[in-house]
Chains A and B, each alone.
Chain A
Amino acid sequence: MDAKRREVLKTGGGLLALAAASGIIKPGDALAQEWNKAAFETKSVAETIKALGGSGSTLSSAIEITAPDIAENGAVVPIAVESKLPKTQAIAILIEKNPSTLSAEFEIPAGTDPFVSTRVKMGETSNVYALVIADGKYFHAVKEIKVTIGGCGG
């Protein structure tokens, strides 16, 4: 009986994978599974870009980071990123000196402005990178934010 159960489970799993591969189940449906663990464990900007599928990135003046020069409270640092690059597909926020570099990644479908605004935690003064994937290429802008009180401590 046990063997039979295993057989059924195996077949079921295979079927699910097949359904996913053939596009019956859209990636968005599998909400919890769609998380790039490797990218969120990276410890440097170069590693993050690699984990997000890039080989390098070009500095671009078409990306604007709106954030304070000095953040009094590192636990709540408002950061907005706007890209003027055509065919912007994704925007990621990277904080160089945080324990994990990648903070957030946003996928921008056609029809949505290449703009996101959120709030992040910063452990200490650091360069903040806005990484933009546009037309399959990687671009970035960088801004230093000084932190007076860190946001990752107790």
Chain B
Amino acid sequence: MADPMRIRANMTGDKVEVKVLMSHEMETGLRKDAQGKIIPAHFIRNVTVTHGGKTVLSAQWGTSVSRNPFLHFRFKGGKPGDKVTISWADNKGDKRTDEATIAGG
């Protein structure tokens, strides 16, 4: 299991500002190790963010998203104390889900 995500969800005006830092190597499958062997691709392919049972963002990623991916977006309809849930799944079947509570603005 990968390390937990670092999530910040804050109110800015009537919107929830979400910033996420995921812990993932995001290996492209194009690099070689010291012995010249290809390092297999290992990367997050799907990210889903939900709030109150509703998807507020979903993403599909390729190998060119940076290592330890960062994501920032905003949505309406949240209030302080609500939960924001973020899940990712990678190409090897690893998954991780983390939750954050929306803080006041």
Hey, which bits of chain A sit against chain B, CB under 8 A? 28, 31-32, 34-36, 39-40, 75-78, 80, 95, 98-100, 102-109, 111-113, 115-122, 151-154
Contacts and interface: CB of A to CB of B under 8 A. Distances in A.
Given A103-B62, A112-B73, A116-B71, A121 B56 contact: no
Nearest to B20: A118
Nearest to B76: A111
B72 A117 contact: yes
Interface of A is mostly: mixed
Interface in B45-98: 45-46, 48, 54-67, 69-77, 87, 89, 93, 95
B73 A117 contact: yes
B72 A80 contact: yes
Chain B interface size band reads 35 or more
Contacts, number: 118
Interface of B is mostly: strand
B46 A107 contact: no
A120 B60 CA distance: 13
A103 B71 CA distance: 13
A78 B94 CA distance: 26
Contact of A106 (B45, B58, B74): B58
B64 A100 contact: yes
A154 B61 CA distance: 21
